[in-house]
Amino acid sequence: MNLTSKKLSTTLAVASALTLSVCASTSVIAQQNESALVTASVMLETDTQLLEVLSNGTLTPPELGDSSIGQVFVNANKLTIYTFENDRNNTEGDDPLDSDCNAGCIVARPAHLASQDAVAQGEFTIIERSDNSRQWAFKGLPLYTFFEDVNPGDVYGEGLGEVWFVARPAVSTVMTSSLGDILVSNTDTKNTHSDGSPADTRIRQGHSLYVWDGDINDIGGDGIGDSDCNNDCAVAWPPLFAEKGATPTGNYSLIERDDGNLQWALSGEPLYYFTYDLTPGEQRGDQLNGWHLARTAPIQLRSDDVKGDIFTARGDISDVSAYGSKLDTTSDRTGFSVYTLEEDSPGISKCNADCAVAWPPLYAEASDVASNSFTIIEREDGTLQWAYNNNPLYLFIGDTDAGMVNGDDINSVWHLVNPMALCADKWQDYPTIYSGGDKLSYNGVNYQVVGGPLYGVTPVTAGHDHRYINMGSCQSGE
């Protein structure tokens, strides 16, 4: 521990009895603790170096760091960052977007301040405190450190008073795979016991996430919107448990499981792991008994005996009117094939009016979040539509049930959508030498070398195209 840390711990310890009680409630400072607060304040005022540490603020928001309970946000000194439930609940009743940790509370829970030049970045915003200082916030919640955390990885403040919790990053992130963009866990989360309840061990950062048809079909019969995967099911498919103090935003929400624990959900669908995905990125659970890889787009994969792996829709999609415009009503299109139109330009749909009646757009909503390969485009009428690698996606009026592929190759311009392969290593100029069978990518297309040796010859070099086999378009996994 450095000198400043020792001074901070000593100073704050004087007021600890006071501050811990104040921070866990909204009661006024007890008379018997006022002298302790004054003593602490005097010590702070006489320590110029310490005041600089606490008051200067940082130009950039917190970064990720490791702890005994998984990845958390940390400050520049790698100390854990926390949020305060009283801020979320606006316990003081003055402003739901301000800090309710003041007076003695802030001594034990120093605000994670932002410098005067700092600007909001993504989900990190900046609030103004009552003393006009600037404080970092995450998803609207002000951020703090804890005086007993003196070493990187310390989380002594976690769960205190049932109102202080570590600040964590987004629960999931997008990973580009050979099956299209999928969601994977962004942090380690709790494993399950043999009865499906959460265990203390933490696992599966970077592991694939899944959704289940059993939940949207309400096989438990207790209503849509909860998890119907419990007990043995939860052992094979561990829930993506939510930590206390978790803050859902966008299309993410929290559901309460039958045992009272919280679980993350996306667009109302509970999220799970698969026990037999042993390493990050594995996708062994996809299409097993109604389980599908989770995505930000309303898309799932289906293996067709004739057509191969094709993308289909998932969930409720907005209907189209008799004039080709978007309606306020929705229909469950889970399992319905999606198509692309050759005549479309990248990012531009040319199917409108009567065309859109026969080929309803796979509409997106304003709250939807695009990914690398599943993007969202704006149609000529201002509505939003999903696209895959910038190709607008459609349903077909002639597919009256899930699993049908009646629209494939109509007029030789409508096609089912197959997952695009990941790009092989990019072509390299001499001194790299290629031999027969080598695979490489060039300008978004995979190629396989025929014969060799080849050097300095690209797949599009005039007179040498016969030296390569075109393996089709590919997507970058970066």
Inter-residue contact 123 to 186 (CB < 8 Å):
no
Burial of 355 (0-12, 13-18, 19+ CB in 10 A): middle
* Signed CA dihedral, 243, 244, 247, 248: sign only: positive
| Whole-prediction pTM | 0.71
pLDDT given at position 311: 97
Query: Where do the domains of the chain lie, and which CATH numbers do they carry?
Result: 3-166 (no CATH), 172-293 (no CATH), 299-416 (no CATH), 422-475 (2.10.10.20)
Q: Which residues contact 335 (CB under 8 A, 6 or more apart)?
A: 300, 302, 312, 313, 314, 402, 403
Distance (Å, whole) CA 473 – CA 422: 9
Q: Which residues contact 122 (CB under 8 A, 6 or more apart)?
A: none
* Signed CA dihedral, 18, 24, 27, 28: sign only: positive
pLDDT given at position 306: 87
Helix runs in 266-408, H state only: 354-358
Distance (Å, whole) CA 296 – CA 375: 10
Q: In terms of Cα–Cα distance, which of 269, 148, 275 is closest to 214?
A: 269
pLDDT given at position 467: 87
Inter-residue contact 70 to 188 (CB < 8 Å):
yes
- 3-class DSSP state for residue 34? helix
Distance (Å, whole) CA 207 – CA 273: 7
pLDDT given at position 89: 83
Residue pLDDT tens, the chain, 478 long: 443 443 344 344 433 433 343 344 333 333 333 333 333 343 344 344 434 444 578 999 999 888 877 778 999 999 999 999 899 887 777 777 789 998 889 999 999 999 999 999 988 999 999 889 999 999 889 999 999 999 999 999 988 998 999 998 888 989 988 888 999 998 777 778 888 888 877 667 789 999 999 999 988 888 888 999 999 999 999 999 988 777 787 889 999 999 899 999 999 999 999 999 988 889 999 999 999 999 999 999 999 888 889 999 999 999 999 999 999 999 999 999 999 999 999 999 999 999 999 999 999 999 899 998 899 999 999 999 999 988 999 999 999 999 999 999 999 999 999 887 778 899 999 999 999 889 899 998 889 898 778 999 999 998 888 889 887 778 776 5
Q: Which residues contact 273 (CB under 8 A, 6 or more apart)?
A: 185, 204, 207, 208, 209, 210, 237, 238, 240
Inter-residue contact 75 to 166 (CB < 8 Å):
no
